[in-house]
Amino acid sequence: MIKTSDIEKVQTKPSPKKRLLSLLKTILLYGTVFIVIYTAINWWRQPIMPTNPQLQLTDYQGQTVDLATLSADKPTLVYFWGTWCPICRTTSPAVNTLAKQGNYPVVTVAIKSGNNQELHDYLSEHNYSFTTVNDQEGAIFADWQGQVTPSFVILKDGEMSQGLTGIQPLWSLKLRLWLSSL
């Protein structure tokens, strides 16, 4: 036999506090699932430091860039990108801001982005002032087993401390560089 008090319990709406708690649990669950999937994908797609990496490069203007020396003092960001990459159009301004701030060395590698003059024109058109190595054939990126652009590598003492891919806001890059300096 059903009591009147049982019917009232079933018909009672959850309190705002219980609804808020339920919403927070749902957000936390979905957020955790997203972070786990994002981390796994990023780990799978990140560049891999070659056994015998070429750390002395020449930028598109003919200047020598020694990644081992740069990363000896502070963590160094190496940014693999392309003029043809739509996502890079979102991340390059943040990388340029980081390079202008001068707190950490930044070296970029433009993958299959044309000859030196075309690359220079692109950099000038977008007001990018970061150091850029022109990887016309994609050999440097292939050596690092890069799979997607944009890709980022943080070097400390000539060794890879972190690798990541995709859209990275300025705060994320700064945080990762700072963590690599600890």
74 and 115 housed in the same domain? yes
Half-sphere exposure of 118 (CA within 13 A, CB side): 12
63 and 145 housed in the same domain? yes
Interval 79-89 mean pLDDT? 96
What CATH number has the domain bearing residue 147? 3.40.30.10
Residue 14 belongs to a domain: yes
pLDDT at 42 over 70: no
Residue 51 belongs to a domain: no
pLDDT at 86 over 80: yes
State the pairing for strand pair 131-135/106-111: parallel
64 and 132 housed in the same domain? yes
Rounded-to-integer distance, Cα 182 and Cα 175, Å: 11
Half-sphere exposure of 96 (CA within 13 A, CB side): 13
For 102-112, write each residue's pLDDT tens digit: 999 999 999 99
Average pLDDT, the chain: 89
Residue 50 belongs to a domain: no
The fraction of the chain above a pLDDT of 70, given in percent, is 90
For 51-67, write each residue's pLDDT tens digit: 778 889 999 999 999 99
28 and 92 housed in the same domain? no
41 and 63 housed in the same domain? no
174 and 119 housed in the same domain? yes
Residue 126 belongs to a domain: yes
37 and 113 housed in the same domain? no
Total domains present in the chain? 2
31 and 66 housed in the same domain? no
pTM: 0.78
CB atoms within 10 A of CB 148: 15
Q: Exposed (0-12), middle (13-18) or buried (19+): which is 135, by Cβ within 10 Å?
A: buried
Between 81 and 39, name the one with better pLDDT: 81
pLDDT-based confidence at 33, cuts 50/70/90?
confident
70 and 154 housed in the same domain? yes
67 and 133 housed in the same domain? yes
pLDDT attached to residue 11? 61
List the beta strands (DSSP E) in 71-130. Answer: 76-81, 106-111
Residue 112 belongs to a domain: yes
Range of the domain at 135: 56-181
Which residue in this structure is represented by tokens 């392309």? 82
pLDDT at 148 over 70: yes
pLDDT attached to residue 4? 58
Interval 74-100 mean pLDDT? 96
pLDDT attached to residue 36? 81
Interval 109-116 mean pLDDT? 97
